[in-house]
Amino acid sequence: MTVEEALATVRDPELDRPITELGFVAAIRTEGSRVRVELRLPTYFCAPNFAWLMVADARDAVAAVPGVTAVEVVLLEHFVSAEINAGVAAVSDFAATFTGDTERGLDPDLAELRTTFERKAHVAAQERLARALTAAGAPGDRLPAMSLAEAAGLVPDAAAAVARRRERLGLRSPHALCGDDGMPFGADQLPGWLRFARTVRVSVDGNAGFCRGLLETRYALARPS
Amino acid sequence: MYSKDGQSYYVVDGHTHFWDGSPANQINRYGEGFIKCFYDYHSNLSPEEYKWSLEEFERYPEERMIRDLFDVGHDDVAILQSTYLTDWYVNGFNTTEQNGEMAQRHPGRFVVNGRFDPRDGEAGLEKLERLHERWQLKGVKVYTAEWKGDSKGWKLSDPWAYRYLEKCQELGIRNIHVHKGPTVYPMNRDAFDVADVDDAATAFPELRFIVEHVGLPRLEDFCWIATQEPNVYGGLAVAMPFIHSRPRYFAQIIGELLYWLDENRLLFGSDYAIWQPKWLIEKFVDFQIPEDLQSEYGVLTADIKKKILGLNAAALYDLDVPEQFRVAAAPGDSGPTIGASPEPLAART
């Protein structure tokens, strides 16, 4: 695995897309076995907790690349760049960095935040799957009882996308569509749930588009045609 | 006022600013970063012919604002939202006093909204009373991400916030505009989380909570609480300009909002000087949900647009709308309202 491939596994938790695809990786500088990665975000005030997660994830991902002996990941031009860069480099945690609290260890709140957004990503992916199934001719009354395996036979890409989100969540469910607990929806529940899931999907996709636009404006990047 | 195709629209611009973000007023790099962030929003979403230079954007003369809003911009009345940010700007970004002083020179044009910060404690409660006496406030804008010394933000559900909301209720300040922004508090939680609005709206049913930029980037969370709280409204500042650069996304946002709320609880706002009302209003009046999305979202009628552009805000601020701009009270074609509604459904049919 290369450094670039490792960074492609790091996702913006909110936008549910790889940081490489979002244009957040400004530079990768390699000197022998030492690697420095520079990250940039769409605005100076992007949420610091998400920024922290991306910087920390990038460090962990690059550190796992064979042959890399030292990693430095720095966040550029952000209102708490200095705090985040120093905190991540010291393998501290988010709360400790911002409160001066020296007690180290897992950051349960940050882990919960990540899970919240992974659940949203799962909901949005399932909405896309339901939409793809309908477009492929699956009757609406088949959806509640459909298995993920059957869905994969009809629309492999959309089903694989759902499977990937479940893997990240550690959620095992044989159903094409399920709640956060893995249980399927009843025929009477599903339409209402799908309606809300659509709002989640519109929101996630919309934010990704907006953030990409702001990054292009901030760094005067060429817009993809 | 804007007229097109035989329809006339009374326009209340629900979100405008008369700010000073110039380097001379900046205290630190946060002040500089804040105005630059706004400027990127402006540059990214404005049509080419409406873009300003950063210098123009940092501080603009009163005459320009009057021209952009009223002479060419179609606004009948504009609501000035106060944003203090005194940890970042020497004289504040735009305070109630600065806004009020300007508004006095243009009678009938502006509604001046105050602000409070629950971290000001008892002294702040008195200050709010004095602001109210001076400017007869009907609304306030609160910015939960505002910094104050070591504190990097607060929540509407904080006990002191409740004290201030009680004070608003007592003074008859019924319109609470809530602006969520990125902050480092509450430390590890989602900074844009609107759950505290839900709590406050339940606790203060007589107040109206206008969530600015409809909770973006948490549109789904905003929709969810708005379905449950009849006194939660959506301010369309920031959502509106997508009409130019990403019209399909705009159609989806407005479609989602009309589905979960209804057309009586959405308020137009330009967020001037980030965007200018002229093009937003003209494009919105011309706008229609794309045909392939109409089966999901329905269509926007002239009555829906009239309510969003001015009539809804006029109702919240007791503005007298001339007869020719009014619409029948019955809702338009936004489909069945899923959530709560500001009036009993029976009264609207």
Q: Give the tens place of pLDDT for each residue, B203-247.
A: 999 999 999 999 888 899 999 999 999 999 999 999 999 999 999
Closest partner residue to A113 (CB to CB) among B188, B220, B249 is B188
Name every residue whose Cβ is closer than 8 Å to that of residue B156 and which is 6 or more positions away in sequence: B142, B144, B165, B178, B196, B197, B199, B200
Question: What average pLDDT does range B66-90 have in this prediction?
Answer: 96
Q: Is B266 helix (H, G, I), strand (E, B) or coil?
A: strand
| Distance from the A54 Cα atom to the nearest Cα atom in chain B, whole angstroms | 14
Strand pairing class (B12-16; B77-80)? parallel
**Which pLDDT score is estimated for B333?**
44
Q: Give the tens place of pLDDT for each residue, B277-292.
A: 999 999 999 999 999 9
d(CA B227, CA B218) in angstroms, rounded, equals 15
Mapped to the 3 state alphabet, what secondary structure does B275-337 carry? CCHHHHHHHHHHCCCCHHHHHHHCCCCHHHHHHHHHHHHHHHCCCCCCHHHCCCCCCCCCCCC
Name every residue whose Cβ is closer than 8 Å to that of residue B61 and which is 6 or more positions away in sequence: none
Name every residue whose Cβ is closer than 8 Å to that of residue B95 and which is 6 or more positions away in sequence: B82, B84
Q: Do B190 and A45 make contact, defined as CB atoms within 8 angstroms?
A: no
Which residues of chain A neighbour B246 with C-beta distances below 8 Å?
A: 209, 213
What domains sit in chain B, N to C, each tagged with a CATH number?
12-348 (3.20.20.140)
Task: Please state, in angstroms and as integers, the Cα–Cα distance from residue B320 to each residue in A8, B24, B91, B175, B325, following that order.
Answer: 57, 40, 34, 17, 10
A124 touches B: beta carbon within 8 Å: no
Q: What is the mean pLDDT of chain A?
A: 90
What domains sit in chain A, N to C, each tagged with a CATH number?
3-105 (3.30.300.130), 110-210 (no CATH)
ipTM of the complex: 0.87
Q: Do A199 and B253 make contact, defined as CB atoms within 8 angstroms?
A: no
Instruction: Nearest chain A residue to B296 by CA: give it.
Output: A195
Residues 170-199 of A with CB under 8 A from B: 195-196, 198-199
Question: What average pLDDT does range A7-30 have in this prediction?
Answer: 95
- The residues pairing with B233 across neighbouring beta strands, listed in sequence order, are B210
What pTM was estimated for this model as a whole?
A: 0.91
Structure tokens at B153: 């933000």
Q: Do A120 and B37 make contact, defined as CB atoms within 8 angstroms?
A: no
Least confidently predicted of A90-104, B218-232, B241-255: A90-104
Structure tokens at B12: 């209340």
Name which of A16, A41, A44 to mutate to probe chain B: the one with the most chain B Cβ atoms within 10 A of its Cβ.
A44
d(CA A218, CA B40) in angstroms, rounded, equals 6
Residues 152-211 of B with CB under 8 A from A: 181-182, 184, 187-192
Least confidently predicted of B75-89, B92-106, B331-345: B331-345
Label residue A106 by pLDDT band (50, 70, 90).
low
Question: Is residue A225 predicted with pLDDT exceeding 80?
Answer: no
Name which of A17, A45, A223 to mutate to probe chain B: the one with the most chain B Cβ atoms within 10 A of its Cβ.
A45
